[in-house]
Structure 1
Amino acid sequence: MKILKNISLGVIALLVALTSCQKDEVVPYGDFQDVAIFSPYTGKITVEINQQISIADGSKGFIDRKWSVPFPSYFLNNDDSVLNEETAFVKFMEVGEVPLVIEWQFQDSLGTTTRDSTFMVTVLDTITTDIAVTNIEGNYTEENGKYIVEAGSIVTMTDTSSGSPDTYQWLIEGHDEILETKTVEVQYKKLGLYSVGLASSRLEPYGKVDTLILRDFIEVIPSTLPVVLTGAKEIDQAGVVHLQFSREMDVIDESDISAFTVKANGTAVAIKTVQLNKNDASIVEVILEDDLYNSQTASVSYDASVGSVQSSDFVKLETFTDQEVIVYLNNLLTVNPDFEDGTKNPFADPWNQAGFANVTVISGDSQSGTKHLNILMDEGTNAQMAMESGFFSLNKEKTYAFEFWVKVKSNPGGNALQFTWRVQPSDGWADNYKSWQGACCTDQLKAENEGTWQKIQILTDKKPPADWDAAKLHLQIGSGAGGKTEIEFDNLKFYEYEVPPTE
């Protein structure tokens, strides 16, 4: 039996022409046999239970035809599980993989033959929303199907609905953002009772939305664990550093200024005040007298012997030292700079001047996020690719930095691996604002760093040759002999390079 699982929409899904010529004449459909099935489905046929499909037989030259489907599914044409009509209207009454079979009998000069085809139809259940807690980072107990967690715990929840939904809207009490992934992680920082809701639906085949609300599903109680600094960054307000903690903090004021130290390039900077963020009490704002500059490295420390900072559940903040502060920068690359949309956009397809470069976006082992750009080159390749959208403006009086992460996965060609990043006007060519990198001379590309992500920052020693209202990035890359070369890029950033004023 021949199993056919993929059926094209509105076109012939199966076309088998079996022909033979009679010696002196052609008799219409005498020995001409043509098998053709027409279906309104692309690829695999998937339907919801209690729904129907139509499928037509356009075959020629047969003497008998029979459709069949296992009970309790049936044909609407005759309310039976067997049908001999040209077009079959099938209603599916059970969940699972259901075979839809068509058989033909053909007669020719050699006798009667039987042919058949089977279409496997995936029948999905109606959607009934359900939720499961799959992991909790922190101390917790479970009582009567509800969870009691300590403040600061991270709760992972996932959709376990029947009917294979593909669209999700989580409603997490205390969490303003609507989450739209199958699995979510929520950190509970504030004491109280929290409900959790999920609306699940299916786009194809259409599955009606179903909603589940779990009232008071999560209870947050005081923690027995230390309060932890989970991140520190300067926001887009000059000199304002946000310290993100694992749970909400108690009242904090200027009396705690002396307990904090912020350093830029190893030198302490003056702190104007410290305060709780008005919208999120798990964030402590450290406001500096002066701005931080993105050419600097910054850190923050806290001395518990001097300060009295504590969480809202009265756990004292412990001393921490020289934790990195991410200094704010305004990335001029606003279209997919981390390739997280799964495409190489805004870059156009490469032009292969020599050899061949296969440019794709792949998942797994990214520098951050889940996706990154992969370039696999034949030996002796010389390829070029440039942005075709997402252009940015440059001022010839300013200095800029281009920062990116690179990983060499395979380089049999040794020092022949090289690339040049150029910055050019969007509608033309320029070769006077660029930076060359090569395996011979760039530490990040050398053999000892193969297989690990390396950060490169370039262009800080020069300025654009002109004011460009619309500029683009252009990459030229080449490989050597000995086999395929593979290199990856992630997290592209192009920004104005800030240097503190000299005194």
Structure 2
Amino acid sequence: MKNKFITLALSLLAFFTYSCEEEYVEPNTFSDIAFYNSNFRAETFVVKGEDTIPAMFIGVNDFISFSDLSHNAVDHKWTIPLSAEFLEGRITRDDEDYTQFIVDKGGNTSTENTINVFFTEGSATDLFEVNLRNTFKDSVSFKGVDTLESVYEDGLWVIDTTFSVFVFDTIEVEMEVRQFDEVTGLFELIDQENTDTIYVEAGDVLEFADVTTIGLPDTRKWEIAGDVYTDEVIQPTFKKLGMASVFLTASRTGLNIPPDQDRYKFPIPIKVIPSTKPFVQQGDLVETIDHVIRIPFNGEFTNLPADAKDYFSVKINGVAGSVKSVALDASDATIIELSLFDAVYSDDEILVSYSGGLESTDTRQSESFTDLPVTMFIPNLFSADIYGFEDGGVYWGPTFDNVGELTYNSTEQVASGNYSMKMVSSSGDWTFAQCLPESGVAVEAGKTYIFSYKVYVEPGSALPFVAPWITKPSGNKQFWESINSFKQGEWVTINKEWTANADEEISVQIRIKNTGTIYVDDFSLIAKDNFRPAE
């Protein structure tokens, strides 16, 4: 029995051996080219001269992995920038220092299938290149965004591929500071290396400029004496006596751009000293939503006396008003806040006078002024960004039956701000624009509103009317306005009174017909009770 089992086993072994010999297939010899890198999904484009070059973005002291996935290459070689290094080992993104993984320091070629390239140098203008050169016995091609075809050289087919990498340097903040020179009448650059302290009189300004280039930041934040600014060049007023600090944070935050930031403290002390200039009112007088009149000065006040309100007088539409109280702004002692006993409305003309004499923190006596106008608070329910087109018209679009030309961010004619909407009609059909429903505002049933807008009719236009609509769920309200008699080439304000019939959200449409061009700007909706009742 045992011999039978042995005989059977040998027979099966012989069978499988014979079968394997019959089914043996030689390894294929076809050639193919393929490669991969860890930043493929983040690839973008860089303009160099007249060329637009696909490139990977990365921050300095970071790495990209490159893999050659080609099949049956005769040989291959990677070449990296001389400033870069190869990394090997168990590298993770949690590692804070990649230098511990550097191998073959100073070398810039490798025949490994996969390499990790560590970029130790950044540039604001130049691209770094990683090159892969493969040779094959057969012709090959790479099918991607661009097709790469092999070239026949010295008996082999060659594909030479270069990957471009834009390496962002670490941000290094740099700023310039200028002080006004009374002699030249210009802001002159301060020599930071040879200045130990900058002295500024209270109420004066310094000019700060963000001149950071290293690291290519795209946002900034100034922090100066408790205030925040974001412009590239600023001229803050120094009001509070004592030492003032200055910080500038430059950041890189764009899409597919490696983030970075640098916060820099200006090292030269800035000392604000008592002013030798007159202590005067400076800036616009403005009414707040709470009917408080804010009056700015060019310096800080010391504590106001109990009779401070007696220093001020007001006229409301030419009639003397009554001052209720005067106080300093709780967070800015350069601003006096004046309250009245009288009821005031958005269409009132208010003039303020001041007898002078209140004292600043640097012991100056403030100078008087007479009949300065107040900019009244107007509670417009429509956002200036949306209904004044200052967001570029992103909430506006055509209606389904529009056939005209609409530009929602025109800069050709503007009533205020930077943009208006341009409407061009060249046929008997409608040029019809609408503000999208998500921009709607709430109104109250039974409440009366003043709906207004501004129109500029381009000279030569033959447009008989402009027709805005208030769109609402309870039924649209249309306002027809003949513009035949409008003076062309200047802005005209149109006011319409309207009473809401429901608590709901409303929006706006507007249309024109015939031939011509208009510009529309500054839609507003103001509750009528904000205006002084007729006597």
TM-score range, shorter chain: 0.7 to 0.9
Distance 1:321 1:377, change over 3 A: same
From 65, 89, 93, the equivalent of 1:54 is 65
Matched, 1:331 2:380: yes
Instruction: Give the aligned partner of residue 394 of structure 1.
Output: 443
Shift of 1:430: 0.7
- 2:73 and 2:85 mapped to 1: Cα distance? 24
Structure 2 counterpart of 1:40, which letter? R
Instruction: Give the aligned partner of residue 191 of structure 1.
Output: 241
Q: Structure 2: any 5+ residue segments left out of the alignment?
A: 1-27, 46-55, 89-102, 140-149
- 2:453 and 2:431 mapped to 1: Cα distance? 21
- 2:151 and 2:79 mapped to 1: Cα distance? 27
SS in structure 2 opposite 1:282? strand
1:217-261 Cα offsets, whole Å, 9 max, x none, are 3211222333232111111223x2111122213444465555534
Instruction: Give the aligned partner of residue 287 of structure 2.
Output: 234
Are 2:151 and 2:158, in contact at CA under 8 Å, matched by a contact in 1? no
1:374-411 Cα offsets, whole Å, 9 max, x none, are 43647346122123224222234333234556666xx4
Structure 2 counterpart of 1:70, which letter? P
Distance 1:187 1:137, change over 3 A: farther
Instruction: Give the aligned partner of residue 94 of structure 1.
Output: 121
Name the TM-score, length of structure 2 as normaliser.
0.69
1:135-187 Cα offsets, whole Å, 9 max, x none, are 659999957254211211233434444322345444333x2x55455554422
Structure 2 counterpart of 1:71, which letter? L
SS in structure 2 opposite 1:197? strand
SS in structure 2 opposite 1:495? strand
Matched, 1:436 2:444: no
Matched, 1:458 2:495: yes
Matched, 1:70 2:120: no
Distance 1:257 1:82, change over 3 A: same
Q: Give RMSD over aligned pairs.
A: 4.2
1:31-63 Cα offsets, whole Å, 9 max, x none, are 999999881314143222221123556789987
Are 2:359 and 2:366, in contact at CA under 8 Å, matched by a contact in 1? yes
SS in structure 2 opposite 1:397? coil
Instruction: Give the aligned partner of residue 155 of structure 1.
Output: 206
SS in structure 2 opposite 1:500? coil
Name the TM-score, length of structure 1 as normaliser.
0.73
- 1:266 and 1:137 mapped to 2: Cα distance? 43
Instruction: Give the aligned partner of residue 472 of structure 1.
Output: 507
Matched, 1:293 2:336: no
Instruction: Give the aligned partner of residue 5 of structure 1.
Output: none
- 2:412 and 2:87 mapped to 1: Cα distance? 47
Matched, 1:39 2:89: no
Distance 1:333 1:486, change over 3 A: closer
Instruction: Give the aligned partner of residue 19 of structure 1.
Output: none
Are 2:463 and 2:513, in contact at CA under 8 Å, matched by a contact in 1? yes
- 2:316 and 2:331 mapped to 1: Cα distance? 27
Instruction: Give the aligned partner of residue 313 of structure 1.
Output: 362
Aligned residues: 450
Instruction: Give the aligned partner of residue 266 of structure 1.
Output: 318
From 422, 426, 441, the equivalent of 1:375 is 422
Instruction: Give the aligned partner of residue 20 of structure 1.
Output: none
- 1:265 and 1:413 mapped to 2: Cα distance? 40
Greater share of helix = 2
SS in structure 1 opposite 2:468? strand
Distance 1:457 1:292, change over 3 A: farther
From 156, 159, 177, the equivalent of 1:133 is 177
- 1:364 and 1:66 mapped to 2: Cα distance? 58
Distance 1:393 1:29, change over 3 A: farther
Distance 1:378 1:65, change over 3 A: farther
Instruction: Give the aligned partner of residue 357 of structure 1.
Output: 405
Distance 1:73 1:385, change over 3 A: same
Distance 1:473 1:39, change over 3 A: same
SS in structure 1 opposite 2:378? coil
Structure 2 counterpart of 1:500, which letter? R
- 2:202 and 2:173 mapped to 1: Cα distance? 28
- 1:190 and 1:159 mapped to 2: Cα distance? 24
- 1:330 and 1:57 mapped to 2: Cα distance? 65
- 1:201 and 1:478 mapped to 2: Cα distance? 49
Are 2:61 and 2:118, in contact at CA under 8 Å, matched by a contact in 1? yes
Instruction: Give the aligned partner of residue 223 of structure 1.
Output: 275
1:42-88 Cα offsets, whole Å, 9 max, x none, are 41432222211235567899876554333112444775433566655
Structure 2 counterpart of 1:456, which letter? T
Shift of 1:263: 2.9
SS in structure 1 opposite 2:358? coil
Are 2:196 and 2:268, in contact at CA under 8 Å, matched by a contact in 1? no
Distance 1:30 1:343, change over 3 A: farther
Distance 1:181 1:61, change over 3 A: farther
- 2:160 and 2:456 mapped to 1: Cα distance? 53
Are 2:242 and 2:271, in contact at CA under 8 Å, matched by a contact in 1? yes
Matched, 1:164 2:223: no
Distance 1:398 1:110, change over 3 A: closer
Structure 1 counterpart of 2:441, which letter? F
SS in structure 1 opposite 2:462? helix
SS in structure 2 opposite 1:285? strand
